[in-house]
Amino acid sequence: MITLRSEASQGMALSAPATLYVGLLVAAPLGILVVYSFWTQTYVSIDRTFTWENYRLAVEDPLVRHLLIRSVWIAGLVTAATVALAYPIAYFIAFRTRHKTLWLLLITIPFWTSYLLRVFSWKLILGFNGVLNSALMTVGLIEEPLTFLLYNEVAVVLTLAHAWAPFAIMPIYVSLQKIDRSLLEAATDLGCSKLERFVRVTLPLTVPGIIAACLIIFIPTVGDYVTPALVGGSDGKMIANLIQVQFGAANNWPLGATLSLMAMLAVGLVAGCFVLLSNLLARRIR
Amino acid sequence: MSRLLRSFPGLSAYAVFYLVFLYTPVLLLPLFSFNEGTIVAFPIKGFTLKWYAELAGQEALLRSLLNSVIVGGVSAVLATSLGLFAARAYVRYRFTGREMSEALVMLPLVVPGIIVASSFLVLFLSVGLKPSLTAVILGHTFLTVPFAVAIMKSAFDEFDPSLEEAAYDLGETVIGTFRRVTLPIVAPGIVSSLLVTFTVSFDEFILAFFLAGDQPTLPVYIWSQIRFPAKLPNTLALGSCLLAFSVLLLITAEYFRRRSAKRT
């Protein structure tokens, strides 16, 4: 005879392996990073006496401050650009087409191809002797290659806005899809113009989707390594590139750990403020 | 509704333009991989397959391909197993801490890659695990668990619990019911989860870059090749193969996911 345990303990037992695995691999590395951040690197070994030296260095070094601020700034730009470009598409799929599944599939397929290769491809498109320049010159629109395309912030923003597109479209689409259509009709019946209806009904109702999209994009972007390394040039470098150097060429793990933690802190602070502000704003509009 | 459809006439045009923006970088690699010239620029010099043919002889490439397949395969199986049980618990049972647990397993999706990579490297070395394929597998399992959980949850959502109850009533054991009733019904979901998690692992770069040591996976190998302009045509050919492979896997995964949704 089988003895069925209580629902609760069965549920806990089944979800335990995944929860423990993920939980352990979130907590343990974080703990180790904190410990490392209070140590110092001597040439070949690690000095394990407690010190705030790394934090002092990180706070006082203008390069670190500069890179941190720029990472947050670029991530903010990327988030704004991606969401602004994606919103009309999500709107289009939710309200304007009957082939929703097809469109959603079309939008997600590029995302499943290698991120590294997509970024690399942008480098080829925007390069001095690249696809865009050579195409424009072949057509005769320009005489000489444009030099402002690659190795700057704009290239980073463009590349990442491309990379994150489905992450912005999906949550916004879901929140648009959830809108009760009779609310829109009511707004029209009560004399709203299309623009008014959009600003006062549709947009406020999609705020949760927009917030979700912003967070999903902003958080990983602050720590992005590949895009600034490939298309950022010296102007577009971000904090992740400096962190990688500490774990690679510079071989200063404690400083790398400190920088990782500071990047995480910056992400947390900005994301937290953003959620608070947008919730306040959403309440205002309504 | 049709009135709504006719508003904003420019929107369809924008949507098409957006698709061009999305697909240009993806389709560019295959386009230029057949180009006879070694510079990626217009005009295209002529059609050739030699860049593809050259790939077959490169031993470092084949070794990294094998590494990627091993890592992808093992991580896919691990993540899908974890996801299978967790998703079943989330859909079927109500228990304290369920919401927290659900949120926690989704966390790997939003932690910046460089932070995961650097902290895993430090952790693994402090417990004596050198950078290796094992380290990459552990990392990729962590990264792919959210995908497995999400897919398996949608598979279990469609699942009618009365089928299991019927099996219990007819005298099956818990394990017997799981094996003979539950598993066959969610099997398409499992296949879909395996394919998706494999693809994610197969394409992942930054963790592998930190954790692979002297056993590079394919993206790490590609990263090392990107720097050499002379290798560019080969890299394009390799990239095109990867793109085709990823899309093929994904379409298969989508097919199985749909089947699992339709079955009940």
Q: Which among A12, A124, A129 has the least Cβ separation from residue B28?
A: A124
Instruction: Calculate what percentage of chain B has a pLDDT beyond 90.
Output: 38
A213–chain B Cβ distance below 8 A for any pair: no
Q: In the A/B pair of chains, how many CB contacts fall below 8 A?
A: 245
User: What pLDDT digit, counting tens, does each position of A4-34 carry?
Assistant: 557 788 888 888 899 999 999 999 999 999 9
Residues 47-76, chain A: which have Cβ within 8 Å of B?
none
Domain span holding position A107 = 57-285
Look at residue B2 and tell me if it is in a domain: no
Amino acid found at B80: T
Query: What is the end-to-end Cα distance of chain A in Å, rounded?
Result: 59
Look at residue B164 and tell me if it is in a domain: yes
Q: Which residues of A touch B243 (CB under 8 A)?
A: 113-114, 117
**How close, in Å, is residue A104 to chain B by CA atoms?**
11
In this model, does residue A102 exceed pLDDT 70? yes
Residue of chain B nearest A182, judged by CA positions: B1
In this model, does residue A52 exceed pLDDT 90? no
Look at residue B28 and tell me if it is in a domain: no
Helix-strand-coil split of chain A, %, nearest 5: 75, 0, 20
Tell whether the torsion through CA atoms of A214, A220, A221 and A222 is positive or negative: positive
Structure tokens at B231: 């290798």
Report CB contact under 8 Å: A88, B116. no
Give the pLDDT band of residue A286 (cuts 50, 70, 90).
low
CATH number of the domain that residue B97 is part of: 1.10.3720.10
Look at residue A132 and tell me if it is in a domain: yes
Look at residue A6 and tell me if it is in a domain: no
Complex ipTM value: 0.84
Would you state the pLDDT for residue A139? 81
Amino acid found at B126: S
Would you state the pLDDT for residue B8? 55
**In the predicted model, what is the mean pLDDT of residues A149-156?**
85
Where is pLDDT greater, at B59 or B6?
Answer: B59
- What's the domain count of chain B? 1
Distance, CA of A213 to CA of B96 (rounded, Å) = 29
Give the pLDDT band of residue A3 (cuts 50, 70, 90).
very low
A195–chain B Cβ distance below 8 A for any pair: no
Would you state the pLDDT for residue B2? 46
In this model, does residue B3 exceed pLDDT 60? no
In this model, does residue B76 exceed pLDDT 90? yes
Q: Which residues of A touch B142 (CB under 8 A)?
A: 21-22, 25
For residue A114, give the H/E element and its range: none
Q: Give B59-73 as a DSSP string.
A: HHHHHHHHHHHHHHH
In this model, does residue B91 exceed pLDDT 50? yes
Would you state the pLDDT for residue B133? 95
Would you state the pLDDT for residue A2? 45
Look at residue A110 and tell me if it is in a domain: yes
Average pLDDT, chain A: 87
In this model, does residue B114 exceed pLDDT 60? yes
- What's the domain count of chain A? 1
Q: Give chain B as a DSSP string.
A: -HHHHHS-THHHHHHHHHHHHHHHHHHHHHHHHTBSSSS--SSP--B--HHHHHHTT-HHHHHHHHHHHHHHHHHHHHHHHHHHHHHHHHHH---TTHHHHHHHHHGGGTS-HHHHHHHHHHHHHHTT--SSHHHHHHHHHHHHHHHHHHHHHHHHHT--HHHHHHHHHTT--HHHHIIIIIHHHHHHHHHHHHHHHHHHHHH--HHHHHH-TTS--HHHHHHHHHT-GGGHHHHHHHHHHHHHHHHHHHHHHHHHHHHHHH--
Look at residue A140 and tell me if it is in a domain: yes
Look at residue A15 and tell me if it is in a domain: no
Look at residue A24 and tell me if it is in a domain: no
For residue A174, give the H/E element and its range: helix A165-178
Q: A18-27, A68-77, B152-161: which range is least confident on average?
A: B152-161
**In the predicted model, what is the mean pLDDT of residues B167-177?**
85
Look at residue B217 and tell me if it is in a domain: yes
CATH number of the domain that residue A68 is part of: 1.10.3720.10
Where is pLDDT greater, at A145 or A260?
Answer: A260
Q: Which residues of A touch B35 (CB under 8 A)?
A: none
How buried is A177 (Cβ within 10 angstroms: 0-12 exposed, 13-18 middle, 19+ buried)?
A: middle
Look at residue B17 and tell me if it is in a domain: no
Would you state the pLDDT for residue B5? 47
Provide CB contacts within 8 A for B208, sequence distance 6+. B71, B136, B139, B140, B216, B217, B219, B220
A244–chain B Cβ distance below 8 A for any pair: yes
Q: Which among B96, B115, B121 has the least Cβ separation from residue A8?
A: B96
Report CB contact under 8 Å: A114, B101. no
Look at residue A5 and tell me if it is in a domain: no
Distance, CA of B48 to CA of B29 (rounded, Å) = 14
In this model, does residue A173 exceed pLDDT 90? yes
A223–chain B Cβ distance below 8 A for any pair: yes
In this model, does residue A1 exceed pLDDT 70? no
Q: A55-64, A129-138, A176-185, B96-105: which range is least confident on average?
A: A129-138
Domain span holding position B51 = 45-262
Look at residue B51 and tell me if it is in a domain: yes
Look at residue A190 and tell me if it is in a domain: yes
Look at residue B62 and tell me if it is in a domain: yes
Q: B4-8, B32-36, B186-190: which range is least confident on average?
A: B4-8
Distance, CA of A282 to CA of A211 (rounded, Å) = 10
In this model, does residue B18 exceed pLDDT 90? yes
Q: Which residues of B touch A21 (CB under 8 A)?
A: 82, 141-142, 145
Report CB contact under 8 Å: A2, B86. no
User: According to the per-residue pLDDT averaged within each range, which of A86-90, B10-14, B44-48 is highest?
Assistant: A86-90
